[in-house]
Structure 1
Amino acid sequence: MNGWTRKNGHVVADLSQQEAAVIRGLVSQIRDMLTARADDAPQDELSELTGIRTGPTTPPEDRVLGRLLPDFYRRDPETGETDAEDADAAGAMRSLHEPELLDQKTGAAELVLETCPPDGGRVELSGAQADGWLAAINDVRLALGTALDIDEETPDELPEDDLRREHLGVYQWLTWVQDSLVDAVMG
């Protein structure tokens, strides 16, 4: 891949078979995690009668999924604590808004899977599709960065005996893909 470019009002890139496989594989994993979370949502009679879906009131236990579906409130930055009233409100906010957030994230993942050719090749995106790609790639980077414990202190290269070494390269490549897509969209 030589990066994303703008042509005739679209954002275009050519992906090798390996690049397409990496993107499709990682996006599929994120979609599957999000779908499993949505499938575990509590079902209640009022929801079935009104069509208004509700989600769980508690954050995911899995730290990667927790990074993709953060709390809808902020804890006290100094103590890290929250009072019971704030926690109850956060649970109510999560229950109301998580289903929509899951729809947006799984929709972006589905868009990537629909527009990324399995065997590689040309990807041509409208502006809205490019936004979906940006959201899905960002989710993959957040998940991968969390799984690899990547932070601002992580060096560009890890020692050869570090098991994260090869995966860090994928994370860095995805960062470049995302940056290139942002540049082309803004372009």
Structure 2
Amino acid sequence: MRAFRRERGMFVAELDADERAAVAAVVADVAQLLGAGRLEDGRTTGGPGDDDTRQTAPPTEHLAGLSLRIDDIAAPDDAAVRRLLPDASRNEPSVSAEFRRLTEDDLRRVKTARLTALWDALTTGPADGWPRGALVVHPDAGADLAATITDLRLVLADRLGLDDDEASEALYADLERELPDDDDGQPDPPADVRRYLGSIYAALSWLQESLLDVLLDELDRPR
């Protein structure tokens, strides 16, 4: 994996085939948590309740930002989804319920659209003229990609139990150590899974940091 850099007017990182597959799997899992179906099946629904695949919606520009839902939405049961769709207020349940009713459907659609864009970039490869492993992002889409990587990291952090800085530091320390075997001298499957997910989390954190660096540099460029 190579960090993001600015090249030919675009933001460009590089991931090999295994890295692309690993990140794409997480993207698909997070999209499914948000109700989008499996991206592997070509399903790109806008959120819960959408049954058609790749369906073209009627024009709704005049309804932008307006939720027509009148019933309340329960807070998600899955802790990872609650990180993606948090309560607006910890102390005022009625405020949180109203905010969720007005915004959650749209927020799911926005996050799903961003995940789908990253999925497409990872699974289809770059346009002609770029190296095969290049992940090419237009500067205007850089902030959306950074937000999407945050969503991926939030879900991975929940699955890994990273609730504070101490837990994160312990994960990085574990990744630097050689993977121990169990008492029978065989690999420990739970430890293998944790190390695998932890490696993806660490890689995404590093990749996001490099993306934020080029985004900040972009702000300083003369217009």
Place the TM-score, normalised by the shorter chain, in its bin: 0.7 to 0.9
Equivalent pairs counted in the alignment come to: 169
Give matches, 1:108-123, under 5 Å: 108-118=114-124, 121-123=133-135
Change beyond 3 A, Cα 1:53–1:110:
farther
Tell me how far apart the structure 1 counterparts of residues 196 and 102 of structure 2 sit (CA, whole Å): 39
- Partner of 1:131, secondary structure, is helix
- Partner residue in 1 for 2:183: none
Q: TM-score, normalised by structure 1?
A: 0.79
Structure 1 residue 152 corresponds to structure 2 residue 168: no
Which of 107, 110, 115 pairs up with 1:104?
Answer: 110
- Partner of 2:3, secondary structure, is coil
Give matches, 1:45-60, under 5 Å: 52-54=67-69, 56-60=72-76
Identity of matched residues, %: 27
- Partner of 2:2, secondary structure, is coil
Tell me how far apart the structure 1 counterparts of residues 200 and 111 of structure 2 sit (CA, whole Å): 21
Tell me how far apart the structure 1 counterparts of residues 20 and 68 of structure 2 sit (CA, whole Å): 34
Higher relative contact order (CA 8 A, sep 6+): 1
Give matches, 1:78-97, under 5 Å: 86-97=92-103
Structure 1 residue 184 corresponds to structure 2 residue 184: no
Query: Unpaired segments of 5 or more residues in structure 1?
Result: 42-49, 76-85
Following TM superposition, the consecutive aligned residue runs of length 4 or more in structure 1 with deviations greater than 6 angstroms are: none
Check conservation: 1:10, 1:125, Cα contact below 8 A: yes
Tell me how far apart the structure 1 counterparts of residues 195 and 135 of structure 2 sit (CA, whole Å): 29
Query: Unpaired segments of 5 or more residues in structure 2?
Result: 38-46, 51-62, 126-131, 181-187, 218-223
Check conservation: 1:111, 1:132, Cα contact below 8 A: no
Structure 1 residue 5 corresponds to structure 2 residue 5: yes
Amino acid at match of 1:141: R
- Partner residue in 1 for 2:155: 143
Q: Deviations over 1:129-185 (max 9, x none)?
A: 222221111101000001111131121223746722332222111110111111122
Which of 112, 127, 131 pairs up with 2:139?
Answer: 127
Which of 83, 90, 96 pairs up with 1:74?
Answer: 90
Q: TM-score, normalised by structure 2?
A: 0.68
Tell me how far apart the structure 2 counterparts of residues 61 and 118 of structure 1 sit (CA, whole Å): 34
